[in-house]
Amino acid sequence: MSGCFITFEGVEGVGKSTQLGLLEDRLVSDGFDVVVTREPGGTPLAEQMRALVLHNRSEPMPDAAELMLMFAARAVHTENLIRPALERGAIVLCDRYTDATYAYQGGGRGIADRLIDPLVELAQRGLWPALTILLDAPVGPSLERAKARTGKTDRIESETLAFFERVRDRYRARAAAEPGRIQVVDATGSREAVAARIQTLIRPILGR
Ligand code: Z5A
């Protein structure tokens, strides 16, 4: 596969979408073929699954259903959008991918890795990002920023501070276990300062 798959991770409001947009602008102006996408979602069918998993409030959603909807959406997204884009040589910038599942459904909800691992294999068929940028910052201010922006919360955003602390801890543990792929970036400071930290990581990956 000739393209490059890069994912952005971190807790709600830490600045993923902002940094992804800044990186996209930079790469497009450098002449790269760039595809920007997100999870859950990214294709029309996967976006319908996103609406189900994030916005359903009509009846309780068991943790197992939440987990499997994340992977159903991921299978669609991976096969219909990410893999074809990589095969044609594009750089795919994705706002969240499987590390989010280990962090939220694993760390946050408490689902064991041994139950998540087989779904990863089924949905991704071996595809993993070349680089995952984990934006890391204290949880409280990040959540405040996200809430100030939208004014309303979806089902997962309504979780407690303790839930998001567990999510952050799990992300950091994954980065410590996979330091080659997952790079932790200090997400505090100005947008420009964070973007500069990301640039230094991206250059070697793209060979410039
Ligand atoms: N989820 C899951 O549970 N399992 C999974 O497998 C997957 C996902 C894939 C998707 O939510 C939800 O799905 C998410 C995890 C779950 N739920 N939660 N919580 P989403 O896509 O709606 O939102 P998000 O991914 O959590 O991110 P976000 O709210 O869009 O936040 P962000 O992208 O990290 O931040 P931002 O939009 O770039 O910035 C937030 C605000 O801060 C905004 O006003 C910016 O202008 C501002 N900002 C950004 N950077 C700075 C700096 N440096 N200084 C000052 N202000 C800044």
Q: What is the CATH number for 183?
A: 3.40.50.300
pLDDT at 126: 96
Q: Which residue has the tokens 């801890």?
A: 169
Half-sphere exposure of 34 (CA within 13 A, CB side): 19
pLDDT at 167: 98
**For residues 128-152, average pLDDT:** 91
pLDDT at 158: 84
Q: Is 123 in the pocket of ligand 1 (CB under 6 A)?
A: no
Q: Is 66 in the pocket of ligand 1 (CB under 6 A)?
A: no
Q: Which of 27-36, 42-51, 146-155 has the lowest mean pLDDT?
A: 146-155
pLDDT at 54: 93
Q: Which of 34-38, 59-63, 186-190, 203-207 has the lowest mean pLDDT?
A: 203-207
Number of domains in the chain: 1
Residue 30 belongs to domain spanning? 4-206
Assess whether pLDDT exceeds 60 at residue 145: yes
Atom of ligand 1 nearest to the CA of 53: 13
Atom of ligand 1 nearest to the CA of 20: 38
